Amino acid sequence: MDSGLYAAYTGLMARAQALDTAANNLSNAGTNGFRAQRDFFRGVLVDSLRPGSPGSSQVGQTVNDFGILGGNALDLGQGQIVATGNPLDAAIQGDGFFAIQTVSGVRYTRDGAFRRSSTGVLETSTGEPVLDAKQQPITVPTGTVHISPDGSVSVATPAGSAIVGKIGIFDFANRYALTAEGTNRFSANGEKPIAAKGVLEQGAIEGANQDAIHGSMQLVLVQRQAEMMQKALSVFNNELDKTATEELPRV
């Protein structure tokens, strides 16, 4: 069988998977703290068809090493920081993640849209407590709030000003061990958090690191590539049908 068929098939499969990734990135371009996913590729047919490997055969020696989508990797680049004027909002400039307590355990995020709960606990917009450096909730009394670059939270009241807690900023030796849960939450998968080098900017939120313009362009590009692979596969299928129709009766 012509190896071109394998090239067209693997190309179409890779573009179809990349299309899902591009669509997800674009749909979350307006999500606070969203981290886009980027495609990476690996060789297909090599592992099982390379001469000398289990399952190899003569057919493996006639097929080239074609590229196919190997998966997605988080793009941990900085997103745009936008001022909100809310003193409880905080954006991380540089490396690091906030730790939050969810029903599934501690999760990490770059979304710093915070608020004070009815009981005074600093929490996310969905009601999950924000944790300090010891991964404990932070209670913020009523008053004028100031968040320092290192995460220290102080509150000024008529009785005076005092530090009431410190927002934890965590990093990981292997950031790529993180897996996305939902749009802007990440699981550490057993990786031990370490102190981050990033600093906080009060009254601001970090947006997604995927903008709508580039996301739209990428989606259109991948769509066109997928269409090209579809056409190529159709050509090879037609050639195979023609060969079968003309040559098999002669056998």
Predicted confidence at residue 48, as pLDDT, reads: 42
Average pLDDT over residues 68-96: 87
Predicted confidence at residue 41, as pLDDT, reads: 56
Predicted confidence at residue 27, as pLDDT, reads: 85
Task: Identify whether the C-beta of residue 33 lies closer than 8 Å to the C-beta of residue 79.
Answer: yes
Burial class (CB in 10 A: 0-12, 13-18, 19+), 141: exposed
Task: Identify whether the C-beta of residue 188 lies closer than 8 Å to the C-beta of residue 108.
Answer: yes
Cα distance between residue 165 and residue 105, in whole Å: 21
Q: How many CB atoms lie within 10 A of CB 239?
A: 13
Residues ≥6 apart with Cβ < 8 Å to 243? none
> Which pLDDT tens digit goes with each residue over 22-72?
888 888 888 899 998 887 655 444 444 344 444 333 333 333 444 555 567
Lowest mean pLDDT of 150-154, 156-160, 170-174, 237-241, name the range.
Answer: 237-241
Predicted confidence at residue 5, as pLDDT, reads: 62
Inform me whether the pLDDT recorded for 88 exceeds 90.
yes
Sign for the CA dihedral angle at 5, 13, 216, 81 comes to negative
Predicted confidence at residue 238, as pLDDT, reads: 64
Radius of gyration of the chain (CA): 26
> Which pLDDT tens digit goes with each residue over 100-159?
999 999 999 999 999 999 999 999 999 999 999 999 999 999 999 999 999 999 999 888
Predicted confidence at residue 3, as pLDDT, reads: 53
Q: Phi/psi class of residue 112: alpha, beta or left (left: φ > 0; alpha: ψ in -120 to 50)? A: alpha
Task: Identify whether the C-beta of residue 35 lies closer than 8 Å to the C-beta of residue 184.
Answer: yes
Predicted confidence at residue 60, as pLDDT, reads: 36
Closest CA to 121 of 186, 184, 181, 167: 167
* Percentage of the chain lying above the pLDDT 90 cut: 48
Domain ranges, ordered by start, for the chain: 3-76+210-250, 81-206
Task: Say what the pTM is.
Answer: 0.72
Q: Can you read off the two tokens belonging to residue 100?
A: 């939050």
Inform me whether the pLDDT recorded for 192 exceeds 90.
yes
Q: Phi/psi class of residue 160: alpha, beta or left (left: φ > 0; alpha: ψ in -120 to 50)? A: left
